[in-house]
Amino acid sequence: MTYHFPKPKSRTEAQVDFRQPTKEDGSEVWKLVAACPPLDQNSMYMNVVQCDHFADTCVIAERDGKMLGWISGHIPPESSDTLFIWQVAVHSDARGLGLGKKMLRELVARDTCRNVRQMETTITRSNEASWGLFRSFARDMNGKLSDAPHYECEAHLDGRHATEHLVTISLPRKALRMVA
Ligand SMILES: CC(C)(COP(=O)(O)OP(=O)(O)OC[C@H]1O[C@@H](n2cnc3c(N)ncnc32)[C@H](O)[C@@H]1OP(=O)(O)O)[C@@H](O)C(=O)NCCC(=O)NCCS
């Protein structure tokens, strides 16, 4: 899918293409994630496997062949109505232009997500950019957003990582039809 930003104010607002990753993208994804704190850095191998096995629920945003954005997601094996978003990364040169939200819309519009009725993600309390992104997406989709502690600092994360709150956004059929 190709989007054209309406009134380009700068080069970063020029044409951005959205596509599924291939295993050739894994190392570049790894570099983009590394450049986007506070995201956790996983192994390059993991990003290669993610690009290879979960391409249907991952998206790359690029302009002139340069990777500007990445979302990894999957449909959990026992929740076929749920798209779980793992990481969202937008290069610092391209933030604030709506790219994060456009990538989320691109994913829910895919045929793979035809049975999806809700989006889930986890967010630490301090990640304001992530809360801003998902609240804004929920508003656009007329979805209801709820959250609750899920992967907890002491109980699950060995005291080494802040508690991750599970955020659930309902995706009304009408809104899904509009993005498809
Ligand atoms: C979070 C991130 C992906 C947002 O990408 P983006 O393309 O700039 O986001 P968008 O332009 O689509 O903005 C969507 C909404 O989020 C809000 N938002 C974006 N950055 C924000 C910030 N730093 N603080 C508060 N709100 C923010 C925007 O205001 C917008 O809301 P609005 O529609 O009400 O104006 C990007 O800042 C990033 O890569 N951060 C580092 C990695 C990270 O924290 N990822 C999220 C965790 S998975």
Alpha-carbon separation of residue 38 from 1, 33, 75, 114, 180 (angstroms): 28, 9, 24, 31, 31
Tell me, in angstroms, the distance from the centre of ligand 1 to residue 76's CA: 25
Nearest CA to ligand 1 atom 23: 129
Q: Is 162 in the pocket of ligand 1 (CB under 6 A)?
A: no
Task: Tell me, yes or no, if the pTM score tops 0.95.
Answer: no
pLDDT in tens, 58-114: 999 999 999 999 999 999 999 999 999 999 999 999 999 999 999 999 999 999 999
2-179 homologous superfamily? Gcn5-related N-acetyltransferase (GNAT) (3.40.630.30)
pLDDT in tens, 99-131: 999 999 999 999 999 999 999 999 999 999 999
Q: Is 89 in the pocket of ligand 1 (CB under 6 A)?
A: yes
Alpha-carbon separation of residue 161 from 75, 115, 119, 150, 152 (angstroms): 24, 33, 23, 13, 8
Where along the chain do its domains lie? 2-179
Tell me, in angstroms, the distance from the centre of ligand 1 to residue 33's CA: 15
